[in-house]
Structures are given as structure tokens and as C-alpha cells.
Amino acid sequence: MRLYNLLETDQARSRLALYLNHFLIFLILANVLAVIIESEPSIGRPHSGWFWRFEIFSVTVFLLEYLARLWCCIEKAEYQGMPAWRARLKYAVTPMALVDLIAILPFLLSLFLTLDLRYLRLLRVMRLMKLTHYFQGFNVFLSVIQKELKSITGALVVMLVLIVIAASLMYTLESQRQPEVFGSIPRSLWWAVVTMTTVGYGDVTPLTTAGRVVATFIMLIGVGLVALPAGMLAARFGEELRERKRSLHLHIEQALADGQVDEAEYQLLKDLAEKLDISDEDLEKNIALLKQSNRTGRCPLCGHQT
């Protein structure tokens, strides 16, 4: 019964839950750092005992966390009125639960199978994705990407088409001079990607005059195109910021309908502001602005009498 209560508070905002969260974030980071350092032979081999013990400790904690989350998931509002086993099964296939499972699976697998150490390490680094549990600052970020998915996919498709055409062009022009690196279209693709992302290693470069002239045009076009998706995301991001501010304005205006923002209304606005990633300071400034604009009868946007 005590365990159950502790688990429940995991969702609440008690002091214990906060410490638990910080401990788990720290453990994930320490764990990934340990995997990274251990992979360096000069460090990993002499201290393999310590790394092994830390790994066992971490997996035990993550396993307990996974089981505890699975146990108490039935308390969630969305699983109410379901039989316990169905709620748990439903929770087990959510992305969050799968990420938690992947974090402990490699260790369990390595007990029964003999995996290549390098693949095992890759799987253990994936524990970083457990951090998504604890980060809520990404929601602006994610909602922007989601809304722009169509345009970004469009830009990516255009880019892929251009990369394929660039690779084919260079294959046509350079394959006789440099058969090793431009001898087929798949081989030329490496050059095309390295060039159009402006990484430009320089391990493969055109040597013929025709190849260089065509490469010049590919670079000039590629550079602009590759920067577009990020620019479009940034533009939408600005739009998102403005929309959030408008939404806040609407709610402040409603709260100000009686000329005052009382305690309860202020708490509601604060919750909304937090959800929209708007700082408390900005909230106060906006309330003051709208109060003044109500008093003087001027539009808060253009300062004009209405």
C-alpha cells in the first residue's frame, strides 16, 4: 500500500516525487556518460568492474521504475473503467512505455544471448530517449514541427530529387576520370549529399572542368534549398509565438471583463501561460498593458483610439 502511494505521487507535485524525478534524470545522464567513457579502451578495460556494477545498479532502478509505472498506470483517468490487465497492456504499447522497455531490454538480452559489445552499447545510449519523460519545454518545438510537417516533407522531397539529379549529373561527367568515387550513381550520391548539406569533407571532389562547372550550380542552388526547411520552421515558430500571445490576450480580456483580475482568475491565467511557455513576467506585462488599454480605450496593438 505504501509503494502504491509513492508511485501515485509520481504524477503529483510532492517534494518526494520531485527528488525522485531529479534522481532518475541524473541516473540516465550518468548512465549514458558511463557507456560513452567505457567504450574508450584505455579507460574502459582497467575499470570494467566498476562500470559493470554501475550498469547492474542502473538497470535494477530502471526495471523497478518500469514495473512501478506499469503497476500504477491503471490509476490514470484515461484507463478508468477498464479491467486492470487491459489497461496495463494498453499502457505497455504507448511510445513512453516502449522507450522505457528498450532502456532495460539490452541488459536482459545480454544475459541470455552473446551480443556484439558495440551493438549493446548503441542500445544503451538509446536510454537518452527516456529523458522525454521529464522535459516539457519541447511542446512549442514539437507542435511547430507537426504543423509544418507538410511543407517540410515537401522541401525534403525537393531536396532528395535534387540530390539524385546532382548525383546522376556528376556520374555522367566524372565517372571516366574518377571511376572509384563517381563510378556509379549510388557512389556519386555520397558526393552529392556531402556537398548539398555544405559539409564538404573534400574526400571526393570533381576534377574535370565540366564537372566543376556543374558542381558550381549544384552548390549555389543546394545551399539555398538546404537552409529553407529550417527557415520555414523558424517562420512558423514566430507565427506560433504570436498566436499564443493572442490566445493569452483573449483570456486576459475575459478575466478583465469585471475590471479586475482576482486570485482565481490569476491562477487560471498562470496555468495557461505555463502551458504556452510564456514567462510570468510577460504575463504581468500583458495584463498591465490590457488594463491600461481598457482604461484609455486604446487598442493594445496599435495604440489607436477605438
Our CB check for a copy of itself shows the closer of 63 and 128 to be 128
Q: Label each residue of 133-144 as H, E or C.
A: HCCCCCHHHHHH
Our CB check for a copy of itself shows the closer of 7 and 178 to be 178
Our CB check for a copy of itself shows the closer of 8 and 243 to be 243
Question: Of the candidates 177, 169, 153, which has an alpha carbon nearest to the alpha carbon of residue 218?
Answer: 169
Judged by CB under 8 A, the chain residues 105 through 124 that form the site for a copy of itself are 118-119, 121-122
Q: Considering the complex, what minimum distance in angstroms separates the CB of residue 242 from a copy of itself?
A: 7
Contact 277, 248 (CB under 8 A): no
Q: Considering the complex, what minimum distance in angstroms separates the CB of residue 233 from a copy of itself?
A: 6
Interface stretch with a copy of itself, choices 19-27, 50-58, 86-94, 166-174 (CB under 8 A)? 166-174
Among residues 90, 147, 261, 268, which is the contact residue for a copy of itself, using CB under 8 A?
147
Q: From CA 111, how far away is CA 299, in angstroms rounded?
A: 68
Query: 3-state class of 160 per DSSP?
Result: helix
Q: From CA 148, how far away is CA 240, in angstroms rounded?
A: 11
Establish if 35 lies at the interface with a copy of itself (CB under 8 A): yes
Look up residue 60 and give its three cell numbers: 535494477
**What b-and-e string marks burial along 273-294, b requiring 16 or more CB atoms within 10 Å of the CB?**
beebebeeeebeebbeebbebe
Contact 240, 278 (CB under 8 A): no
Judged by CB under 8 A, the chain residues 223 through 242 that form the site for a copy of itself are 223-239, 241-242
Interface stretch with a copy of itself, choices 12-20, 59-67, 74-82, 247-255 (CB under 8 A)? 247-255
Q: Which amino acid is at 53?
A: R
Establish if 155 lies at the interface with a copy of itself (CB under 8 A): yes
Judged by CB under 8 A, the chain residues 263 through 282 that form the site for a copy of itself are 277, 279, 282
Among residues 49, 81, 95, 202, which is the contact residue for a copy of itself, using CB under 8 A?
202
How many residues sit close enough to a copy of itself to count as binding (CB under 8 A)? 105
Question: Of the candidates 201, 214, 203, which has an alpha carbon nearest to the alpha carbon of residue 178?
Answer: 203
Contact 240, 232 (CB under 8 A): no
Q: Which amino acid is at 168?
A: S
Judged by CB under 8 A, the chain residues 173 through 192 that form the site for a copy of itself are 175, 183-187, 189-190
Our CB check for a copy of itself shows the closer of 59 and 192 to be 192
Contact 229, 156 (CB under 8 A): yes
Judged by CB under 8 A, the chain residues 51 through 70 that form the site for a copy of itself are none
User: What is the number of H-type helices and E-type strands within the chain?
Assistant: 14, 0
Among residues 27, 171, 214, 283, which is the contact residue for a copy of itself, using CB under 8 A?
171
The DSSP secondary-structure symbol of 207 reads -
Q: Which amino acid is at 216?
A: T
Our CB check for a copy of itself shows the closer of 2 and 118 to be 118
Among residues 6, 63, 102, 164, which is the contact residue for a copy of itself, using CB under 8 A?
164
Interface stretch with a copy of itself, choices 52-60, 77-85, 265-273, 293-301 (CB under 8 A)? 293-301
Among residues 78, 203, 262, 263, which is the contact residue for a copy of itself, using CB under 8 A?
203
Establish if 288 lies at the interface with a copy of itself (CB under 8 A): no
